[in-house]
Structure 1
């Protein structure tokens, strides 16, 4: 079955422009479109009629009168197509099916344990896609495509996950997920790193504010980041998702495991870093409620630490405060270089306790060179852990009006 390329489904530049304007509003009148598009009245009328006739738009009633006839309101047709979003992460992978209004029609998730090899996961995804489409009576050719956000590093052009760290199952090296799933499913698949997909999701959720320069940082097992400038994701010569974590904070500092830079930010501010700090200090004889967990110091993990943080165990508070301070220093370096309008912080470490977010952002602001002239908005985002999978689905819809 030959599937139509996403960017060719709406084939006129004028059609794409009007569709994108309408997509950014729940409802919009022809008068507002005339002002925003700078088209002539006759060109706009013809374009709207053609988009309605092709099924991309719906006439959605009449707006309030401003003295003349009540204006026709337009919205995109949610059932003109469907998209899948897929999040491939170290702990959990998730698939969602959405219409063009981003209404979630179905979802499924997989625990990424030691049995979840690439072949097993991708085969189960293909089966689940077919099951979801049958369940909702959606034809395969109504699917625009699937966006995938995955742990990097990766090659997004070839659709290959390269050498990710910390997967429990074997085989997660040089996995061409794009080719594998396109052969199984027959519709377009696109791959990008998880941070890039997350910033697309968060930007879309906050589209009424129209921030043009965004920074997204996900702080968990590692540090994942992305940047958006002039409303577009910034790409480098290689996959940049893990680059912030390799920023050197202390030139004579330690190294996390057997990879990365010595004294890198990830060595001081990541789940693995705080686990190692706790284990080391307990072995040194430090007192802590962690000793009541009935596990040996070398087996203390993030779950134990979060529980101890909730009861304000002094040692645990010290470890998290130190990590938040180092992370704030790294964040200030980024602010001094990139000057985003808004910074979105997510991930398990950011969300484990309000104090972590507040301490990290205070340190960042205090070390920002142009403060208070330069004002930045800090946020924990609107979508939380759903940002990645939501952004993956939105990235497919975005292609309708690109090119």
Structure 2
């Protein structure tokens, strides 16, 4: 099994590959300025990397007085990576080339039968099928990246004890070993928020990338990640779900887990919180289009709320605005501490309708201390529900420059 970091053996070649990946299409002059390499060294590296298939010439740039410069870009079909999103509602697989263009994908709804063994078996069988139908030789597959629900152990490739999975068996799961043994390639693991942030960052055009970016995923719980100076920020422990424990009301409602904080953000702003609020209102006798979607209030799920809000149901709109207001307060706290230049809000709470995103960002701005001197851009990203899986593929391919 070839380690991904060993695919490009020369440290200087890794530097050049990283610069070409960063800028997309780049001239030799810019590569020399950024790498500070001698012209002869750079020329030899470019020739070798072109011959080896890692980069390719793509024409000529504009002349600045002499000969027009040759332009280079990555050769996307030099290798391929799989990205896996292992989450509580749906899990997803994508196949990408080295430009992170999605070639194929597959989604599984997580149910009581979605144990680790069953899911990994389905995923690896789908990987083999994708390689076959796209005519990709096995030696072109570089690796597999996995974005999972934390907490997890990145170094050991183990999902440790995630909450709220619909099936049993997800404690201490060595997902990387299970996948590598079946596929014969390296596998890497990180939490889903980090993976999603990488995906959004690297699929943006180079001129649109922010160097200080906050990502928050809104789903059954809240998950966050931070990029500073273009690099992921890691804490002493896996901290993906910590944002949900931010206290926004000291005497507030108890968390659904015994060790959760009273009045924490996740108890007001999450799919679970929205579902519970809707159930409570229906039990109180409030009128709503939700009543026609279920036999009993306890049967309400987030998908029913999305259907009702698209239908203009006043009660559901009220619940979404209230929850999004709480989320906006929590987001303002993050902005006042971290001052990112860009915030990406992903996950079903933001991608299934517009109201939650619009309300939350408006509330956040009104409570951001240095605004308008401090300007921040809000986005729902470009990848939607595929951000995590594509980001996991990015994470795997990123090891080429390690």
Q: TM-score, normalised by structure 2?
A: 0.95
- In 1, Cα distance between the equivalents of 2:212 and 2:119? 35
Following superposition, the deviation at residue 334 of structure 1 comes to 0.6
Go from structure 1 to structure 2 and tell me whether the alpha carbon gap of 1:362 and 1:49 turns closer, same or farther (over 3 Å shift): same
- Cross-structure match for 1:341: 341
* Maintained 8 Å contact 2:221/2:266: yes
* 8 Å Cα contact 2:294/2:300 also seen in 1: no
Which of 130, 135, 139 aligns to 2:128? It is 130
Other-structure match for 1:254: 253
Partner Cα separation in structure 1 for residue 354 and residue 124 of structure 2? 39
Counterpart secondary structure, 1:24: helix
Q: Are 2:309 and 1:309 aligned?
A: yes
- SS across alignment from 2:375: coil
Give 5+ residue unaligned stretches, structure 2: none
Instruction: Name the CA shift for 1:92/1:67 in 2 (closer, same or farther; >3 Å).
Output: same
Paired residue secondary structure (2:207): coil
Q: Specify the SS of the correspondent of 1:187.
A: coil
Work out whether residues 106 and 132 of structure 1, in 8 Å CA contact, stay in contact via their aligned partners in 2.
yes
Alignment of 1:87-126 (within 5 A): 87-126=85-124
Please give the alpha-carbon distance, in whole angstroms, between the structure 2 residues aligned to 1:301 and 1:129.
32
Deviations 1:182-203 (A, max 9, x none): 1222211001111000000111
User: What are the within-5 Å matches in structure 2 for residues 52-63 of structure 1?
Assistant: 52-63=50-61
Counterpart of 2:199?
201
Encode CA deviations 1:233-269: one digit per residue, 9 max, x unaligned. 1111221111101111111111242342221111001
Would you say 1:327 and 2:331 are equivalent positions? no
In structure 2, C-alpha distance between the alignment counterparts of 1:282 and 1:366, rounded to whole Å: 32
Q: CA deviation at 1:271?
A: 0.9
Tell whether the 8 Å contact from 1:256 to 1:273 is kept in structure 2 after alignment. no
Give the equivalent residue in structure 1 for 2:167. 169
Aligned counterparts of 1:283 and 1:265: Cα–Cα separation in 2: 24
Q: Give 1:384's aligned residue.
A: 384
Residue in structure 1 matching 2:17, options 19, 40, 45? 19
Contact 2:96 2:390 in 1 (8 A): no
Shift of 1:375: 1.1
Q: Deviations over 1:262-281 (max 9, x none)?
A: 21111001111011111112
Tell whether 2:377 aligns with 1:374: no
- 1:294 positional shift: 4.6
Mapped to 2, the partners of 1:147 and 1:279 lie a distance apart of 38
